[in-house]
Amino acid sequence: MRAATRREISRAARRVLDRAGPASVTMRAVADELGMTPPALYRYFAGRDDLLRRLADEIDDSLADDLRAALGARPVDDPGDRLRSAGNGLRTWALSHEHEYELVRSAMIERGFSAGVAKVFLGLFEELWQQRPGSGGRLTVRSAETSMVFLSCSIRLYGFLDLEVRGRVPMGVGDTTVAFQYLLAEFIAAVGPVR
């Protein structure tokens, strides 16, 4: 019963989030959505931060599962194609789920590349890196070179998405789809062999 109630609270919080963004997700707003009193929610969540953290994790895990499922249909022997597919999937989702993207990105910035979608991209990065000439099929993730390449590429992709989701891409960029494809191509070229 407790798990079912937590799921219902999460669904209500997500509806509030989808309507008006992370700032609107308060214990009162979620309780109102459920027809409960705010103190009743504290039996299931320690507070607003706990509720938002768990909601961000649920959304991130769900999106990561969707990306992994889509990657299952991509050729395993072409990690560049797989990274491009995941990047486009993330962009499509982010543009149609602005508030959820904002929440997940905030959580990612807070905890680093340790869960969900970030792990999907790290795995794709590893697949690409292993095809680099001289890699011997190995990846030393903790080396300064690999860490900086991954970090640099990730900052550029997520930075562009952050601007695009918020409608803040500079006017001179032109077609944002073309610009995003360019960034993905640069990521692939920086990490693995060009196909």
Looking at the structure of the chain, the number of domains it has is 2
Q: Are residues 75 and 157 in the same domain?
A: yes
DSSP code of residue 75: -
Which range of residues forms the domain containing residue 22? Answer: 1-45
Please, where are the H alpha helices in the chain? 2-20, 27-34, 38-41, 48-71, 79-96, 98-111, 116-129, 144-165, 176-191
Digit-coded pLDDT (tens) for 152-186:
888 999 999 999 999 999 888 889 999 999 999 99
CA geometry: angle at 39 spanning 53 and 54, to 5°?
A: 10
User: Does residue 166 form part of some domain?
Assistant: yes
Query: d(Cα 98, Cα 71) in Å, to the nearest integer?
Result: 23
Residue 114 has a pLDDT of: 64
Digit-coded pLDDT (tens) for 107-133:
888 877 667 898 898 888 888 887 776
